[in-house]
Structure 1
């Protein structure tokens, strides 16, 4: 497995399954990429395609399966640009050449392909986990900060995204920590998942967050993120209720809390930890 992250691109490529240049699999993969790119104006921001899955059993062995999923707040132009970049340049040439399985995430979209069908199936076998390290000022108690974040992500976003229907499973929300601090959250699943599988995937991803002012977990079937800075289209937020109960008072700021990179526990192998900046850490895990 090869994994890497930059400030914009995260990807995982299998290094155990390779294909030869000019092979049938490469031809099918190129066809799949064309299918995905040509459908990247789909207003739902999601499309699945299969290439090479013919009546001949030999052809089926070389079949390629893949979807793209654009983030739910992206417009058609942004979605199309992201999918086109992934399928014409980044996956075939820069990051995962000659790999039979790969997945790439950007801020705007995800593109994945494999020689095995995975449609309609929740997959959390891989996760890219990102968080900030260093002194983190939460403007108050760290425990309270994380409680508010987990409540928003698990009980609001994971529920609303799962109930999004077959077209789009996407949700955003925010919660006030104090007068001067807000936590923004986002969750999304591939729409082919059932509501229960989407909720399960997001709750699993949210459970991988660590103590930080920012967290992002990328899994093949879903994606969850929170930050103390706005990072999505605010028009996607749900309409506020007519009467909103007041939050209990937040204790006055007393100190900052620090989290070190530590170790991510998992039942499988762990990829190389990659530091992409002074304070942003990324780790890929197989579970």
Structure 2
């Protein structure tokens, strides 16, 4: 499957998921990535910096209303950089709840890992001992594909319906303070 088709189906999955609505319950787990390339020691400076970072990202003063915040704690070689990004249509309360849940969940799903990405339907939490804020990183994601057969006619109809809506949603996202846009198609 081509990368264009993978991106299209990932977008379609995200678009469909965004209409489910979110509540104050635990966030909906999607995927996590702990590449196990580097680990930290139990009493290390890195762990102290990680705790500082996670505390900052999950504090009551974090930017839940904008749905995004990044932070860095410590100095190299024990520096840790991280961020959270909430889905654009969730409330600040749901965003805060998802980030708080993911901060606790990271220590269960990826103990002692220095590079972690947790994906929920409502938010993403990511941190690393590398600079992940200004560097494009293309690994560590998940692609969800449709395994059913699609006829050429269905594929053409889907393209005719979705591409204009996708363009409209992109324009809406660019002009939105939360960088989010959503549209429906019948």
User: Normalising by the residue count of structure 1, what TM-score does the alignment of the two structures yield?
Assistant: 0.50
Q: Unaligned stretches of 5+ in structure 1? A: 1-6, 54-59, 176-181, 183-287
| 2:169 paired residue number | 157
Could you say if the C-alpha distance between residues 119 and 111 of structure 1 is closer, same or farther in structure 2, counting changes exceeding 3 Å?
Answer: same
Q: Is 1:168 aligned with 2:178?
A: yes
Q: Is the aligned partner of 1:78 residue 2:94?
A: yes
Structure with the higher helix share, 1 or 2: 2
Query: Which of 99, 122, 128 in structure 2 is aligned with 1:114?
Result: 128
SS at match of 2:138: coil
* Aligned equivalent of 1:131: 145
Q: Kindly state the Cα deviation for residue 41 of structure 1 after the two structures are TM-superposed.
A: 5.6
**Alpha-carbon distance between aligned partners in 2 of 1:75 and 1:136, rounded to the nearest angstrom:** 36
Aligned residue in 2 for 1:147: 160
The answer on whether the counterparts of 2:117 and 2:140 sit within 8 Å (CA) in structure 1 is no
SS of the residue corresponding to residue 170 of structure 1 reads: coil
**Any residues of structure 2 matched to 1:1-287 within 5 Å, and which?**
8-38=29-59, 39-40=61-62, 42-53=64-75, 60-88=76-104, 90-93=105-108, 95-134=109-148, 141-153=154-166, 155-164=167-176, 167-175=177-185, 182=186
Note the alpha carbon deviations across 1:83-103, whole angstroms, 9 max, x for none: 001112x1112x111111111
SS in 2 for 1:99: coil
Aligned residues: 157
5+ residue gaps, structure 2, are 1-27
**RMSD over aligned Cα, in angstroms?**
2.3
